[in-house]
Amino acid sequence: MKHLRGLTILLTTLVTLGALAWGWHARQATLAATHVPQTRTATLFLPGNSGGWLSMRDMVLSLNRPQLAHFSLTAHVTDNGRVNWHQHESVTSNPLVPVLFQDNTHAAKEARQLVTVLTQLRARYGITHVNFVGHSSGGTIAYDYLNQKRHAPVTVSRIVCIGADFPGCTPLHVHYPQLHILNLAGNIGLTGNDSEVPVNTTTPLRRLVAGHIGSYRFEELRGPVWDMQHSLLHENPAIDRKIIEFLYPPS
């Protein structure tokens, strides 16, 4: 009996390790042949409600490769809005910048604090153009930033929203003709949601930005739970590739 139990544990461990190895290989293979132009536009990653470094870690690290982008900085924002910078490498081409808020449950407040992040990003590192990648309410932070009165002296070029909904948001009142938005919604099978965010709560963004931006694209992504579950959308290599090619298109 003990022998059988030990064999079961061993087989389970081997299967689990095999699945992890396969997942890692799939993520690497998906992006290995992908190349994008190298620019000075920084991409800021905005986690969702109660999110932190672990929320966007795998996406940032998977995109951190010479032909794609470079994990250059992390911005840590305190509760009172002070920004502490951690530089990982030289800020050169396609910098990747996770933004980690100490108070990470109030999107409107985080949007206001984002002004300081962007202002310092320009003053310290000479960044004049940025993209946003927002997961869940990180997408709301990006939208709230666009729609507030105070902005930083940088140009927002592209925004990717992943599994984001927009409760109570008012239509844009500022024109951003240079801005392009990709709105991604996960759908587990035919359930109509990603286990947390229904697809039909992501689609109002089209109406909110209509007539105020350069372009808007919505994509509903369907698949099994291990690809489309809300917290796994930023662990999906196919989505990584879709995002990086949108953020840095051929010139």
CA distance 142 to 115: 11
Q: Per-domain residue ranges for the chain?
A: 34-247
**pTM of the full predicted structure?**
0.88
Residue 76, helix vs strand vs coil: strand
Better-predicted residue by pLDDT, 29 or 245? 245
CA distance 118 to 78: 15
Quick one: average pLDDT of 196-225?
94
Residue 167: how many other CB atoms lie within 10 Å: 9
Instruction: For residue 5, name the pLDDT band (cuts at 50, 70, 90).
Output: low
Question: Please, which residues have CB within 8 angstroms of residue 154's CB and are 6 or more apart in sequence?
Answer: 118, 119, 121, 122, 127, 128, 129, 130
Question: Please, which residues have CB within 8 angstroms of residue 37's CB and are 6 or more apart in sequence?
Answer: 248, 249, 250, 251
CA distance 94 to 102: 26
CA distance 199 to 246: 21
Instruction: For residue 38, name the pLDDT band (cuts at 50, 70, 90).
Output: very high
Residue 213, helix vs strand vs coil: strand
Residue 74: how many other CB atoms lie within 10 Å: 18
Instruction: For residue 33, name the pLDDT band (cuts at 50, 70, 90).
Output: confident
Q: Which amino acid is at 147?
A: N
- Cβ atoms of 97 and 121 closer than 8 Å: yes
Fold of 34-247: Rossmann fold (3.40.50)
Tokens of residue 97, six digits: 């910048």
- Cβ atoms of 35 and 60 closer than 8 Å: no
Quick one: average pLDDT of 65-80?
97
Q: Is residue 8 predicted with pLDDT exceeding 60?
A: no
CA distance 28 to 5: 35
Q: Is residue 15 predicted with pLDDT exceeding 70?
A: no
14-23, 86-95, 101-110, 127-136: the lowest-pLDDT one: 14-23
Q: Is residue 31 predicted with pLDDT exceeding 80?
A: yes
Q: Is residue 9 predicted with pLDDT exceeding 70?
A: no
Quick one: average pLDDT of 101-106?
95
29-38, 107-116, 124-133: the lowest-pLDDT one: 29-38
Question: Please, which residues have CB within 8 angstroms of residue 246's CB and are 6 or more apart in sequence?
Answer: 158, 160, 180, 182
Radius of gyration of the chain (CA): 19
Of the candidates 244, 46, 29, the one whose C-alpha atom is nearest the C-alpha of residue 132 is 46
Instruction: For residue 55, name the pLDDT band (cuts at 50, 70, 90).
Output: confident
Quick one: average pLDDT of 67-74?
97
Q: Is residue 11 predicted with pLDDT exceeding 80?
A: no
Q: Is residue 175 predicted with pLDDT exceeding 60?
A: yes
Quick one: average pLDDT of 162-173?
92
